[in-house]
């Protein structure tokens, strides 16, 4: 029997639809027991197969049309005592970056308002410090910034160097959403890049942040001279944390004159794509942020990264010391590719932690009301 043409067309459409979906479980599991060998095997798989698998995992855990727009502001530039060999803010190197004092509160709030008006839902603040030791007044100013920006309905992130558990608790109480503390690379390669702070120092800060109930933002930098094995080692390190980081920034080194890595070759695009794809598969629920170096990628290269699982970018006027894509350009690009901005607190892991904080505040407010009511009745 000859089927009607409409049936034939429907079958062909169905075949095309099925061809765009991987034959995988409804939702890939979140694991904390990955081996380096397993991750290396994923990383080394044929690139298009790797991107296809990553895209499938991405669609199981995220809305593929949503991109988180983040804006980063340097609130204290240069003069850092660390020797991070990629960073122009180190006082050990002669670079174009000049040291400055911590910015006053109002210019920061104005920058946050502008970011929100342009569609950013997360505002990040970076200070070039090793830690907060001896910076009580500066820390109090930053806590005020966090409270005020959180009051605008934005997610708030800071990167201030190493933290103690008490400092992390105070940031959480002020309303901090996330804390950025990158591991940068694998444990094995790390001493080739930084000697003034140990890998375990970084992990201790991440633990303090996580224990305080703040979302962890921790990723790395590609192009430091590391090998594929080191990129795998970085992903392995965060994948086996007690809780996967809420976000995993993927930075491509922007060599800056005067730093030890000023002559490093640009990281190949396929390395960026492989890293994003592998991270998406291994960290299925994590936001993967296409961070520093994005301005070196053309629009189609960025689109492939979004397909492979990247779902956050920095947008605005400037990053810490490197260029950033302007809001208008990013919004135009997203419109051409059918992408839209992610709302504040839309990411499930962030919403869960924010919800717990709101419940704690509500309980405290209820207790205060009950206590006040009791006092009124007693006086009557």
Going from N- to C-terminal start, the domains of the chain cover 36-345
User: Cβ atoms within 10 A of the Cβ of 76, count?
Assistant: 21
Q: Determine whether the annotation assigns residue 210 to a binding site.
A: no
239 CB-side CA count, 13 A: 23
Q: Determine whether the annotation assigns residue 289 to a binding site.
A: yes
Q: Determine whether the annotation assigns residue 80 to a binding site.
A: yes
CATH class, range 36-345:
alpha beta
290 closest CA partner among 250, 252, 254: 250
Distance CA 277, CA 305 (A): 8
Q: Are 187 and 237 in contact (CB under 8 A)?
A: yes
Task: Give the pLDDT confidence score for residue 172 in this predicted structure.
Answer: 97
337 CB-side CA count, 13 A: 22
State the catalytic residues.
80, 84, 87, 124, 157, 217, 289
Q: Determine whether the annotation assigns residue 157 to a binding site.
A: yes
Task: Give the pLDDT confidence score for residue 90 in this predicted structure.
Answer: 83
Q: Determine whether the annotation assigns residue 84 to a binding site.
A: yes
Show the tokens assigned to 268: 């190949």
Q: Determine whether the annotation assigns residue 305 to a binding site.
A: no
User: Cβ atoms within 10 A of the Cβ of 49, count?
Assistant: 11
348: three-class secondary structure by DSSP: helix
Q: Determine whether the annotation assigns residue 324 to a binding site.
A: no
Task: Give the pLDDT confidence score for residue 237 in this predicted structure.
Answer: 98
Q: Are 56 and 21 in contact (CB under 8 A)?
A: yes
Task: Give the pLDDT confidence score for residue 40 in this predicted structure.
Answer: 98
Residues of the chain falling short of pLDDT 70:
1-28, 317-324, 356-380
**Each residue of 96-129: b (16+ CB within 10 Å) or e?**
ebeeeebbeeeebbebbeebbebbbbbbbbbbbb
101 closest CA partner among 142, 70, 71, 72: 142
Distance CA 287, CA 157 (A): 14
């Amino acid at each position: 029997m000859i089927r009607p043409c409409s049936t034939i067309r429907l079958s062909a459409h169905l075949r095309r639809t099925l061809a765009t979906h991987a034959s995988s479980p409804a939702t890939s599991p979140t694991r904390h027991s990955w081996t380096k060998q397993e991750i290396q095997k994923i990383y080394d798989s044929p690139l298009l197969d790797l991107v296809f698998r990553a895209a499938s995992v991405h669609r199981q855990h995220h809305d593929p049309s949503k991109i988180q727009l983040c804006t980063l502001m340097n609130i204290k530039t240069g003069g850092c005592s660390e020797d991070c060999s990629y960073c122009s803010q180190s006082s050990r190197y002669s670079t174009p970056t000049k040291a400055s004092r911590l910015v006053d509160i109002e210019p920061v709030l104005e920058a946050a308002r502008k970011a929100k008006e342009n569609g950013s839902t997360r505002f990040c603040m970076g200070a070039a410090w090793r830690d907060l030791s001896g910076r009580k007044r500066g820390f109090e100013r930053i806590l005020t910034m966090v409270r005020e920006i959180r009051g605008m309905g934005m997610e708030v992130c800071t990167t201030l160097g190493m933290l103690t558990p008490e400092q992390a608790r105070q940031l959480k109480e002020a309303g901090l959403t996330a804390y950025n503390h990158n591991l940068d690379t694998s444990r094995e390669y790390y001493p080739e890049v930084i000697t003034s702070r140990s890998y375990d120092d970084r992990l201790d800060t991440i633990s303090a942040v996580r224990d305080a109930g703040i979302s962890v933002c921790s990723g790395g930098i590609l192009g430091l001279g590391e090998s594929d094995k080191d990129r795998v080692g970085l992903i392995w390190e965060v994948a086996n944390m007690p809780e996967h980081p809420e976000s995993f920034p993927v930075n491509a080194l922007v060599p800056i004159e005067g730093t030890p890595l000023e002559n490093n070759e640009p990281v190949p695009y396929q390395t960026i794509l492989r890293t994003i794809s592998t991270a998406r598969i291994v960290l299925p629920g994590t936001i993967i942020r296409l961070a520093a170096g994005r301005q070196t990628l053309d629009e189609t290269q960025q689109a492939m990264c979004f397909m492979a699982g990247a779902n956050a970018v920095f947008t605005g006027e400037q990053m810490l010391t490197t260029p950033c894509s302007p809001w208008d350009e990013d919004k135009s690009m997203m419109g051409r590719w059918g992408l839209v901005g992610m709302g504040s607190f839309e990411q499930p892991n962030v919403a869960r932690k924010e919800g717990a904080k709101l419940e704690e505040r509500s309980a405290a407010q209820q207790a205060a009301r009950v206590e006040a009511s009791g006092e009124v009745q007693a006086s009557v």
